Amino acid sequence: MESPRTVHVEHCMGTVFTIDIRDPGDWRDAVRDVVNWLHQVDAVFSTYRADSDVSRIQRRELRAVDAHPDVLEVLDLCAQVQTATDGYFSALHNGKLDPTGLVKGWAIERADELLRRHGSPNHAVNGGGDVQLAGEGAPGRPWRVGIADPADRTRVLTVLAGRDFAVATSGTAERGEHLVDPFTNRAATALASASVAGPSLTVADAYATAAFVMGDDALGWIEGVPDYDVLVVGAGGSRTSTGWHRFAAPA
């Protein structure tokens, strides 16, 4: 017998979001609220929309304190992550405000909270491969998430399994060399991808960005970070932090 499933796909923020609910019932109101939320985030934080709050702040037409209240929350989170990553994560690039390395994960995690408030204990929200997972994929069965090989997107490099966790990947496979090292103001090129798994997608998304910029140093850095682990892929293949095995799916 198949598990109950409601799936909605939404194009937003320049990527594809999938809302996948594994609970019985009518989830149209919940899905509508999540979709509205994602588009609100895009309207506030997009660096491509001239009318977004972030673009207006960049042009000095709007002060952050006068912008949507979420702006100050996100900028505060960015500052916390910048400290936690020894400066390798930054919302400023060559003088331009760009918190997108954290915003998508934060938006997805808030979408997860919306679904929980609507009464769904088992669901996944996936935005361009960054995923927050709640409960189980099916009764008695954990969620399974594949991480693509950055050298061949048709090949799954590894599979993670678990309940109530998040995973985010940063790399060059989809958008090319777009992640900037804040210490050099040049594109980071040491790795092909960095994936971070842990409880919060807000944190995992930002940490994946920082880990990609750090290169192989990310492995040592994340050993001192509770609850989060990393897989990095470079010219020499893939390497993981010591706790990554907690998320690995059984063979």
Q: What is the pLDDT of residue 235?
A: 86
Tell me how far CA of residue 234 lies from CA of 123, 151, 169, in angstroms.
Answer: 32, 10, 14
Q: What is the pLDDT of residue 63?
A: 97
Q: What is the pLDDT of residue 240?
A: 96
* Torsion sign over Cα 155, 158, 161, 167: negative
Q: How many C-beta neighbours within 10 Å does residue 163 have?
A: 13
Residue keyed to tokens 């090989």: 149
| DSSP three-state, residue 131 | strand
Q: Which CATH number fits domain 6-247: 3.10.520.10, 3.90.1150.10, 3.30.1180.20, 3.40.50.300?
A: 3.10.520.10
Q: What is the pLDDT of residue 181?
A: 92
Q: Could you give the CA distance from residue 87 to residue 52 in angstroms, rounded to a whole number?
A: 26
Q: pTM of the predicted model, to two decimals?
A: 0.94
| DSSP three-state, residue 161 | strand
Going from the first residue of the chain to its last (251 residues), give the mean pLDDT of each consecutive group of 10, the final group possibly shorter: 86 96 97 98 97 97 97 98 96 90 97 98 97 97 95 92 97 67 90 97 97 96 97 93 92 68
Task: Evaluate whether 54 touches 46 at the Cβ level (below 8 Å).
Answer: yes
- Cβ-in-10-Å burial (0-12, 13-18, 19+) of 62 comes to middle
Q: Could you give the CA distance from residue 193 to residue 173 in angstroms, rounded to a whole number?
A: 8
The full set of domain ranges for the chain reads: 6-247
Nearest to 214 by CA among 176, 251, 241, 182: 182
User: Which tens digits make up the pLDDT trace of 122-160?
Assistant: 999 999 999 999 999 999 999 999 999 998 888 999 999
Task: Evaluate whether 165 touches 129 at the Cβ level (below 8 Å).
Answer: no
Tokens found for residue 42: 């895009």
Q: What is the pLDDT of residue 141?
A: 95
Contacts of 123 (CB under 8 A, 6+ apart): 19, 20, 21, 22, 23, 112, 115, 133, 134, 135
Angle between helical axes of 69-84 and 100-117 (0-180°, round to 10): 120
Q: What is the pLDDT of residue 133?
A: 98
Q: What is the pLDDT of residue 173?
A: 56
Q: What is the pLDDT of residue 175?
A: 56
